[in-house]
Amino acid sequence: APVPRLEHHTLERIETVWFGIAVAMAVLLFASVLASFVSGTYPALKGEGGHHITGVENGRLDPRNLAATPFAKPGLRENPDGSLEAFVVARAFAFEPAVLRVPAGRPITFHVTSADVLHGYQVEGTNINATAMPGQVASFTTTFRQPGELDTICNEYCGVGHHNMITRVIVEA
């Protein structure tokens, strides 16, 4: 039986429609990628605690020059407006500060970075699980509800001393 044939101009119209759909999908994809990029970087642009961090731009810094940033003195600091920020540096094979003391019941904005290779920063018994990357700052805000001592480990394999990267968060009443 003869194969039914579409008229030439019908084929062209179908091609035009499909081409239009393909273009629309490409535009939508690009727009959604752009939107997620903007929404993803927006908290970093704001500094996530509302404070600009010296030496940090768009969540990035120079890992060889932590001295020019608050990471030079890791630990908890209270801002003039009463907000709390904790700066944590991971390096092979330890965390700084060695022990982080924080108050219970107050929001604390953490900033975590690495001085050398990829590390993890996981506080057991909480949902804190950040990746410490050289050149980048992971920022998040959390509140410890009750006093106690929380083991803190590196959960990214980082070398021979990986298993020694254990520290502690002490939550004080």
User: What is the 8-class DSSP label of residue 170?
Assistant: E
162 binds ligand CUA (CB under 6 A): yes
Would you give the binding string for ligand CUA spanning residues 54-93, x where CB under 6 A is met? Answer: ------------------------------------x---
Secondary structure (3-state) at 14: helix
Q: Return the percent helix, strand and coil in the chain, to nearest 5.
A: 30, 35, 35
At CB < 8 A and 24+ separation, what contacts does 69-78 make?
70/111, 71/111, 71/113, 75/100, 76/100, 76/101, 76/102, 76/108
Which residue type, as a one-letter code, is found at position 69?
T
Give the number of other CB atoms < 10 A from CB of residue 100. 23
Q: How far is the CB of 157 from ligand CUA (least distance, A)?
A: 6
165 binds ligand CUA (CB under 6 A): yes
Closer Cβ to ligand CUA, 114 or 139, answer by number? 114
- CA 124 to CA 44: how far, in whole Å? 25
Closer Cβ to ligand CUA, 83 or 153, answer by number? 153
119 binds ligand CUA (CB under 6 A): yes
Closer Cβ to ligand CUA, 84 or 169, answer by number? 169
Q: What is the size of the binding site for ligand CUA (CB under 6 A)?
A: 8
Would you give the binding string for ligand CUA spanning residues 135-154, x where CB under 6 A is met? Answer: -------------------x
Q: How far is the CB of 74 from ligand CUA (least distance, A)?
A: 15
CA angle, 32 then 38 then 40, to 5°: 100
Residues at the contact surface with ligand CUA, assessed by CB under 6 A? 90, 119, 154, 156-158, 162, 165
